[in-house]
Structure 1
């Protein structure tokens, strides 16, 4: 294996191990020793590749958000039902992203978020697309609509225990298809579509 491929492989292993560690324990509770052990590398590689545990966490968050954005782009040609359903499905299948975002919100204050410009641009583009899709201006109201749409689609995976309590029992009283259809309908109503 050449040096570049080996470095890429090590970086990939570190990101995968860190994603699991941070999703389980957050940035404060995440341990570089466990990340290195999961990745099968010396913990000094973390500092060599990322500089610090915080920068590794930031790289994990950026990668997860990029993955979400690429998996489910929102363009002016997007079918809104499909988009809401895809965001719901993504979070049901990958609750680690929601856990990472919750840990991030506990660790950083709003003013201290790293990579804020790059991250914001992804969502500003989505606001533009949503505005075109529903025939509105790309203003604060449309931005709040996008935020609400994402929240509605992600909330059942963020607090599944609340879903169980609200639907009345130890198991959700609604099946996944009914929940998904309800989320899509509610999401469209929330943005006035």
Structure 2
């Protein structure tokens, strides 16, 4: 019974923290607001997670696991994989907000990347197999571009509104989804996307 209660408390804290961090970021989030939203004493946060930063990491890890379950690996129809990414972030906007706050707070060195790195490596390997080429940095860069295609309109919704002036929100989403999928399809159909050479001279 105690284990079930503890699990329920942890789940409530994670749900409340996700909303708080998505709205206010790491620095702006308040543990007392998280505890109040979860209906527990704020000492439960430290008992379950140890610190606010560790709680943020747990929230991101949970959100990324849901993302992986909902999207799957980049295989099969890769253009539709981009479409699935677009759809996921439209339905679940908090993940992008969490990652933007993480980038603002930590730059390119998040609090704990060790638990997430293997999942990205697996995605690069799946994309490499789908494209029939090595799982190297060129393939990783291609994956980054595909993710960017799917996410940018959700990251900058005001830009989509300016550019697609006069269209309803639903029409904007339909237009953007169709465009990113078609763009990905045309790019990937060229044979060797993402193989540009890099001049490493200073």
**For the residues of structure 2 that align with 1:61 and 1:189, how far apart are their CA atoms?**
33
Aligned to 1:161: 158
Is the 8 Å Cα contact of residues 161 and 172 (structure 2) preserved in structure 1?
no
Is the 8 Å Cα contact of residues 131 and 138 (structure 1) preserved in structure 2?
yes
Asked if 1:43 corresponds to 2:50, the answer is no
TM-score norm. by structure 1 comes to 0.92
**For the residues of structure 2 that align with 1:75 and 1:171, how far apart are their CA atoms?**
31
Aligned to 1:60: 59
Consecutive unaligned residues of structure 2, counting only runs of 5 or more, are 192-202
* Distance apart, 1:81 and its partner CA: 3.1
Choose 14-23 or 102-111, whichever is displaced more. Answer: 102-111
Paired residue secondary structure (1:116): coil
- Describe the superposition over 1:73-107 as per-residue Cα deviations: whole angstroms up to 9, x where unpaired: 1154x322331111100001111111100000111
1:141/1:48 Cα in 2 relative to 1: closer, same or farther (>3 Å)? Answer: same
**For the residues of structure 2 that align with 1:25 and 1:103, how far apart are their CA atoms?**
8
Paired residue secondary structure (1:118): coil
Aligned to 1:109: 107
Paired residue secondary structure (1:110): coil
Match of 1:83 among 81, 84, 88: 81
Consecutive unaligned residues of structure 1, counting only runs of 5 or more, are none
Count of matched residue positions in the alignment of Structure 1 and Structure 2? 190
Deviating above 6 A after TM superposition, structure 1's stretches of 4 or more consecutive aligned residues are: none
Aligned to 1:149: 146
* Distance apart, 1:174 and its partner CA: 4.5
Aligned to 1:132: 129
**For the residues of structure 2 that align with 1:32 and 1:117, how far apart are their CA atoms?**
25
1:9/1:172 Cα in 2 relative to 1: closer, same or farther (>3 Å)? Answer: closer
- TM-align CA RMSD: 1.8
1:99/1:173 Cα in 2 relative to 1: closer, same or farther (>3 Å)? Answer: closer
Is the 8 Å Cα contact of residues 20 and 29 (structure 2) preserved in structure 1?
yes
TM-score norm. by structure 2 comes to 0.88
